[in-house]
Amino acid sequence: MAMNSDRVDTDYKPISCANYDQYEIAIMHGSKMHLTWQANNVIYDQVVTPLNLRTEHGEEYLILSLAGGEVTEVRLDHIRRTQIL
């Protein structure tokens, strides 16, 4: 019997529920966060404002505002360190 699945194979590694909850709480409270993440072989270390979370093709992302006001997103498993300020 064939199974139909919308799941896309990805290298995404799910994060812990505790970490996900931390992002949700920061978003609800409008808290700033000090994040360190890696994207395209570059390490970023910035104070950001988390705006929302989204899931696409089985990957989870944090949508955030950088200090200069630019809005971007970071895949959750690329975040290396988080501190709510």
Query: How high is the mean pLDDT of the chain?
Result: 90
Structure pTM? 0.84
| Domain membership of residue 53 as a residue range | 32-84
For residue 68, tell me if it sits in a domain: yes
* Inter-residue contact 56 to 63 (CB < 8 Å): no
Instruction: Please state the rounded mean pLDDT for residues 23-47.
Output: 96
Instruction: Give the strands of the sheet with 42-56, arranged side by side.
Output: 71-75, 59-65, 42-56, 33-39, 79-84
Amino acid 2: pLDDT: 42
Through-space distance between the first and last CA atoms of the chain, rounded to whole angstroms: 52
What CATH number corresponds to the domain at position 39? 2.30.30.520
Task: Name the more confident of 37 and 1.
Answer: 37
What pLDDT score does 10 carry? Answer: 72
- Cβ atoms of 50 and 34 closer than 8 Å: no
Over residues 72-79, mean pLDDT: 97
pLDDT given for residue 4 in this prediction? 41
